[in-house]
């Protein structure tokens, strides 16, 4: 590609990049990628399902990688049959060698890197509907959620990482003529400031959000000049494979080595994650998943960015209207069957009950209100299946079914989920358990998936203490609170913030604790065991490169 073509690409995306950088500072709502499918061409929606269908039982050749072996074991949670898609089986030594050979990416200007990366997002935008079907049939998300999470919301997070990286790379001038008065003469030095990438990065994806949780780290490393190897979960490859294919296409078209970004797939029986992560050539690791493996990643002594598991809480002290509160909690816990890292697990309610505009409600009445709200969602003919989606892994269902009574009383369980479109969908309605704060062995641990504990506490103060303690010991990404007392609101926020957990206060209607908006909401704080990083703050990109200052005397 000629220098003129490169300038045209930079000019093409300059305004969008500047808007993204500005949005980082204002923290107001901003997105160049509308979240509703109707905002995109109808023909894209019409052809996407057929395009996805053509991928089934075929080799995924879009990466343009030669391979002697092809592997793949993705299974649709809706069909409960294999997709039959296979991908180039990687040789880890070759992956590392190709990434090392692509290190010239670190010498490309920040402007050119940003332009190429933004162009890749525009290519991905044209395939949102395909990616939605790919996400739906690998994760179990509903179509609308899959479209939003793996399409516009993921692109938002990727662009946010690009903008933050670009801003930090532009923090210092490239060079300066430095003059120090020394009395009878001046000392003249020419100084340069260069951002040196740390080296090859590894991004380890998860099975439930294969693009949304992967692209921030991938694009943060790429904008800062590091080649990237993406190792997706073996059960959720296709969505991120499409993204990587488009990114590789843009790199080739602009005269760069496509191996600046590579896909490394494996199987559950023959994993390669540890082999890659422990390789001395890997300098950066992004990880999303369970805490046990996350702690292993952190123990390697490399620069790591982890999002692990945690126990998210709801502190219920008082409310104007219990109906709207119960509806909000019910939706937050039912959305994608609780398979979101932001989903609440524990609802802490004082033994004396809560204050409402209609008087006091007892603990049992509060628990029943939440149970009825969940039941209303599950049994709603239009909301139920679309809200709950499908269960990505059957181990999630087995974990709930084998849990007995969890030391409490099941007040909602075994509700059938009717999905008229997919009769074989793997589903599981939320289980609600009413228990006491003494039952910490149960609610004090994470139970991934659709399970909710309504916990009776000694007082509202004790509710806050328990939520904060769990955040510090087990980790927490979110905390939802309902309180009409301004002074106690401040106490909740102060206590939870000291546990490095953000608070969502009195959410109702269309606001849900699960949702984190790019360019405004930070995702994970990095301050408690739920993860050591936060995307996207400056540290998320700054730790991926090193500033070097050189001095020259003429």
CATH of the domain at 241: 3.40.605.10
Secondary structure (3-state) at 263: strand
Examine residue 528 and state whether it is found in any structural domain, yes or no: no
Helices (H), 356-403: 363-379, 384-388, 394-401
Q: Residue 284: which residues within 8 A CB-CB, separation 6 or more?
A: 198, 199, 200, 201, 202, 221, 226, 302, 303, 304, 305, 543, 544
| Mean pLDDT score of the chain | 96
pLDDT at position 1 is 54
Secondary structure (3-state) at 360: strand
Residues 294 and 407 in one domain: no
CA distance 525 to 531: 7
> Would the pLDDT of 404 be above 70?
no
Residues 272 and 332 in one domain: no
Examine residue 189 and state whether it is found in any structural domain, yes or no: no
pLDDT at position 521 is 97
Residues 362 and 296 in one domain: no
Confidence of residue 458 (pLDDT cuts 50, 70, 90): very high
Other CB atoms closer than 10 Å to residue 217's CB: what's the count?
Answer: 32
Using an 8 Å Cβ cutoff, are 419 and 170 in contact? no
Residues 470 and 349 in one domain: yes
pLDDT at position 3 is 55
Residues 413 and 346 in one domain: yes
pLDDT at position 407 is 85
Q: Which residues pair with 119 in a beta bridge?
A: none
Q: What's 397's domain CATH number?
A: 3.40.309.10
CA distance 195 to 397: 48
pTM above 0.85, yes or no: yes
Q: Which domain holds residue 450?
A: 313-505
> Would the pLDDT of 2 be above 60?
no
Residues 380 and 253 in one domain: no
Examine residue 194 and state whether it is found in any structural domain, yes or no: no
| Residue for token pair 């074991």 | 73
pLDDT digits over 161-213, tens only?
Answer: 999 999 999 999 999 999 999 999 999 999 999 999 999 999 999 999 999 99
DSSP string across 320-357: S-HHHHHHHHHHHHHGGGG-STT---EEEEETT-EEET
Examine residue 184 and state whether it is found in any structural domain, yes or no: no
Residues 78 and 227 in one domain: yes
| Residue for token pair 């269908």 | 53
Q: Which residues pair with 202 in a beta bridge?
A: 229, 285
Examine residue 191 and state whether it is found in any structural domain, yes or no: no
Residues 300 and 394 in one domain: no
CA distance 385 to 374: 13
Confidence of residue 400 (pLDDT cuts 50, 70, 90): confident
Kindly report the CA angle at 253 between 247 and 259, in degrees rounded to 5?
50
Confidence of residue 401 (pLDDT cuts 50, 70, 90): confident
Which residues in 182-327 belong to E strands, given as ranges?
186-197, 200-204, 228-231, 261-263, 282-288, 303-307, 313-316, 318-319
pLDDT at position 6 is 61
pLDDT at position 4 is 57
Q: What's the half-sphere exposure (Cβ side, CA atoms, 13 Å) at 65?
A: 28
Buried b (16+ CB within 10 A) or exposed e, 531-540: bbbbbbbeeb
Examine residue 513 and state whether it is found in any structural domain, yes or no: no
Element (DSSP H or E) covering residue 361: strand 359-361
Buried b (16+ CB within 10 A) or exposed e, 222-261: bbbbbbbbbbbbbbbbbbbbbbbbbbbbbbeebebbbbbb
Examine residue 143 and state whether it is found in any structural domain, yes or no: yes
Examine residue 30 and state whether it is found in any structural domain, yes or no: yes
Phi-psi region of 453 (alpha: psi -120 to 50; beta: other; left: phi over 0): beta
- How far CA 468 is from CA of 61, 348, 436, 492, in Å, comes to 49, 12, 17, 9
Element (DSSP H or E) covering residue 119: helix 110-125
Confidence of residue 5 (pLDDT cuts 50, 70, 90): low
> Would the pLDDT of 405 be above 80?
no
pLDDT at position 399 is 82
Query: Shortest CA distance to 263 belongs to which of 280, 281, 248?
Result: 248
Residues 335 and 249 in one domain: no
DSSP string across 52-78: HHHHTTSB--TT----S-EE---B-TT
Mean pLDDT of 456-460: 98
pLDDT at position 495 is 98
Work out the percent of the chain whose per-residue pLDDT is above 90.
94
Using an 8 Å Cβ cutoff, are 387 and 375 in contact? no
Q: Which residues pair with 314 in a beta bridge?
A: 347, 480
- How far CA 319 is from CA of 325, 333, 367, 408, 482, in Å, comes to 7, 19, 14, 25, 6
From first CA to last CA, the distance across the chain in angstroms is: 36
Secondary structure (3-state) at 374: helix
pLDDT digits over 299-332, tens only?
Answer: 999 999 999 999 999 999 999 999 999 999 999 9
pLDDT digits over 29-87, tens only?
Answer: 999 999 999 999 999 998 999 999 999 999 999 999 989 999 999 999 999 999 999 99
pLDDT digits over 513-536, tens only?
Answer: 999 999 999 999 999 999 999 999
Residues 7 and 54 in one domain: yes
Confidence of residue 228 (pLDDT cuts 50, 70, 90): very high
Domain total of the chain: 2
Residues 285 and 407 in one domain: no
Residues 211 and 351 in one domain: no
């Amino acid at each position: 590609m000629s220098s003129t073509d490169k300038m045209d690409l930079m000019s093409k995306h300059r305004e969008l990049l500047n808007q993204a950088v500005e949005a980082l500072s204002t923290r107001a709502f901003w997105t160049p990628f509308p979240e509703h499918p109707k905002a995109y061409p109808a023909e894209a929606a019409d052809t996407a399902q057929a395009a996805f269908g053509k991928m089934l039982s075929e080799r995924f050749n879009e990466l343009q990688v030669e391979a002697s072996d092809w592997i793949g074991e993705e299974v649709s949670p809706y069909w409960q049959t294999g997709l039959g898609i296979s991908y180039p089986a990687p040789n880890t030594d070759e992956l590392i060698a190709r990434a090392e050979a692509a290190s010239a990416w670190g010498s490309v200007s920040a402007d050119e890197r940003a332009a190429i990366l933004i162009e890749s997002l525009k290519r991905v935008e044209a395939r949102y509907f395909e990616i939605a079907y790919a996400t739906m049939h690998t994760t179990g998300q509903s179509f609308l959620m899959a479209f939003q999470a793996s399409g516009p919301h993921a692109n938002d997070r990727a662009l946010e990482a690009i903008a933050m990286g670009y801003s930090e790379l532009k923090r210092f001038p490239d060079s300066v003529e430095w003059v120090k008065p020394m009395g009878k003469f001046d000392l003249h030095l020419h100084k340069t400031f260069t951002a040196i990438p740390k080296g090859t990065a590894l991004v380890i994806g998860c099975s439930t959000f294969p693009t949304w949780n992967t692209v921030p780290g991938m694009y943060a490393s790429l904008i800062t000049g590091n080649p990237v190897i993406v190792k997706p979960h073996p059960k959720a490859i296709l969505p991120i494979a499409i993204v990587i294919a488009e990114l590789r296409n843009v790199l080739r078209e602009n005269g760069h080595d496509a191996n600046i970004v590579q896909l490394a797939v494996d199987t559950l029986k023959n994993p390669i994650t540890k082999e890659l992560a422990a390789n001395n050539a890997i300098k950066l690791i992004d990880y999303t998943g369970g805490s046990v493996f996350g702690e292993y990643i952190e123990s390697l002594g490399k620069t790591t960015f982890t999002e692990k598991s945690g126990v998210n809480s709801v502190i219920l002290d008082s409310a104007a209207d219990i109906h709207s509160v119960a509806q909000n909690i019910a939706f937050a816990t039912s959305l994608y069957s609780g398979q979101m890292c932001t989903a609440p697990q524990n609802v802490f309610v004082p033994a004396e009950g809560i204050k409402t505009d209609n008087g006091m409600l007892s603990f049992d009445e509060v628990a029943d209100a939440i149970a009825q709200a969940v039941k209303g969602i599950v049994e709603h003919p239009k909301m139920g299946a679309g809200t709950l989606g499908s269960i990505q892994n059957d181990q999630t269902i087995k974990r709930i079914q084998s849990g007995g009574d969890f030391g409490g009383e099941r007040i909602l369980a075994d509700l059938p989920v009717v999905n008229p479109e997919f009769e074989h969908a793997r589903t599981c309605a939320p289980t609600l358990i009413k228990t006491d704060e003494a039952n910490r062995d149960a609610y004090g641990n994470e139970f991934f998936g659709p399970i909710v504990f309504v916990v009776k506490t000694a007082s509202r103060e004790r509710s806050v203490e328990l939520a904060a303690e769990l955040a510090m010991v087990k980790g927490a990404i979110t905390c939802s609170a309902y309180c009409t007392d301004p002074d106690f609101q401040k106490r909740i926020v102060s206590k939870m913030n000291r546990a490095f957990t953000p608070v969502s206060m009195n959410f109702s209607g269309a606001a849900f604790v699960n949702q984190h908006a790019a360019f405004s909401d930070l995702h994970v704080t990095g301050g408690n065991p739920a993860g050591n990083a936060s995307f996207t703050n400056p540290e998320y990109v700054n730790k991926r490169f090193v500033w070097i200052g050189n001095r020259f005397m003429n």
